Amino acid sequence: MGIRIRNIGSYVPEKILTNDDLSKFLDTNDEWIYTRTGIRQRHIAAPEEQVSDMGCSAAKKVLEEAGVSPSELGAILLSSTSPECLFPASACLVQEKLGAKNAFSFDIQAACSGMVFSLENARCILKGNPSMRYILVVASEKMSAIVDWENRDTCVLFGDGAAAVLLENDFQETPDALFPAHLGVDGAYFESLLLPGGGSRLPLTTALLDERQQFLHMDGKLIFKLAVAGMTEYSNIALERAGLSPEKIDWFVPHQANVRIVDATAERLAIPSEQVFRNVENYGNTCAATIGIALADMRARDLLKPGQLLLLAAVGAGLSKGAMLVRW
Ligand code: UT7
């Protein structure tokens, strides 16, 4: 049996917030944001638009285009750094809104590495369930609801959006499109990027709200270095395990947090700049959704050709790290 990517798609909210818009209420400017991050704008969800809504918008497009009914899905894996509630899993809302009555669903919390972690989990589930035909991998983020709009260090970096990938077991003797991923975490950096308040450790209180602990906190400089080192190391391991060298890669599709992180990683991997996909300029960091949105953009721009080898890599809060090779 072979696992293949049957379809991929994305959704971003209509509202766009540019760097110039930000400079109207924050002590920042387009020049600083663009030169430090490569970001020009990000999409912002409407107040009533939730993670499950954005995930469903991407998922519906993907299923309709593929001619696959939601009832044919065996599982839905949703990765989100900004889930709707601590529990239950937002994946349950996606299941309900899609009408995927035969699917089990759960959330994957791996922050910006969410898409790579989800694809690997979906791959393993399909391998372990030879009778299951389809799994839907969804990544959806409403980062605008969890960043501190009074903190210019962090709020300028993030955006909202979603992506969906439909994986199919084609029951043929075809090679898998997804290679086994290399995944890992380093919990020593738990405090370096987190949302401290609102969980069981720091339940919400007025004092906690006054301290703005309900919002994302990040040691940006440290995460920058860890992201470059982690994506480089994990990409090299994924390549080595597949017996491939970086020259075999047609496209490097890394997590889109900061174009300087992307470029520094590609340089260390010796992947030519023209084979590196970048779209952070248009979306900011949509955390778990960036790689899916990138793949959807690449396909829309006709950049992906059958047989091409893609290297996906991400580092995120946790510290979570992952790299995966994909045969398009
Ligand atoms: O993938 C996981 C998620 N992680 C990330 O996306 C973030 C990783 N980190 C980064 O992308 C970068 O470290 C940042 C973009 C967050 C910062 O870039 P940097 O080159 O490391 O900036 P810096 O720390 O050297 O610059 C900080 C300076 C400070 O001013 P002083 O102390 O040097 O006077 C800040 O106050 O830049 C100032 N600053 C800003 N100025 C204008 C910080 N944010 C802003 C801002 N506008 N938005």
Q: What are 126-178's pLDDT values in tens digits?
A: 999 989 999 999 999 999 999 999 999 999 999 999 999 999 998 887 889 99
What pLDDT, on the 0 to 100 scale, is given for residue 130? 87
Does residue 56 carry a catalytic annotation?
A: no
CATH architecture classification, 2-170: 3-Layer(aba) Sandwich (3.40)
**Structure confidence at residue 103 as a pLDDT band (50, 70, 90):** very high
Per the residue annotation, which of 56, 112, 155, 287 is the catalytic one? Answer: 112
Q: Among 21-25, 110-114, 129-133, 189-193, which stretch is predicted with the lowest mean pLDDT? A: 129-133
Longest dimension (CA), the chain: 60
Which pTM value belongs to this model?
A: 0.97
Q: Considering only CA atoms, which residue is closest to atom 24 of ligand 1?
A: 221
Give the pLDDT band of residue 263 (cuts 50, 70, 90): very high
Q: Is the pLDDT reported for residue 84 higher than 80?
A: yes
Find the catalytic residue in 92, 121, 182, 255.
Answer: 255
Catalytic residue among 7, 258, 285, 287: 285
Active site residue 236: no
Counting residues of the chain whose pLDDT is more than 70, the rounded percentage is 100
Model confidence at 18, in pLDDT bands (50, 70, 90)? very high
Q: Which residues line ligand 1 (CB under 6 A)?
A: 28, 32-33, 36-37, 112, 152-153, 156-157, 220-221, 223-224, 227, 255, 257-258, 285, 315-316
In the predicted model, is pLDDT for residue 1 greater than 80?
Answer: no
d(CA 103, CA 177) in angstroms, rounded, equals 22
Please compute, for residue 313, the number of CA atoms within 13 A of its CA located in the half-sphere on the CB side. 28
pLDDT at 326: 98
Sign of CA dihedral 221, 227, 228, 230: positive
Cα of 284 from ligand 1 centre, angstroms? 14
| Domain residue ranges in the chain | 2-170, 182-327
114-128 and 290-300 helices cross at what angle (nearest 10)? 80
Over residues 309-328, mean pLDDT: 98
CATH superfamily of this structure's domain 182-327: Thiolase/Chalcone synthase (3.40.47.10)
Strand partners, 248: none
Rounded to whole angstroms, the Cα distance separating 235 from 96 reads 36
Q: Do 182-327 and 2-170 fall under one CATH topology? A: yes
**pLDDT value at position 77?**
98
Residue 217's nearest CA partner among 200, 199, 192 is 192
- Positive or negative CA dihedral for 17, 276, 179, 73? positive
Say how many CA atoms lie within 13 Å of 77 toward its Cβ.
24
Contact between 226 and 264 under an 8 Å Cβ cutoff? The reply is no
User: Is position 112 annotated as part of the catalytic site?
Assistant: yes
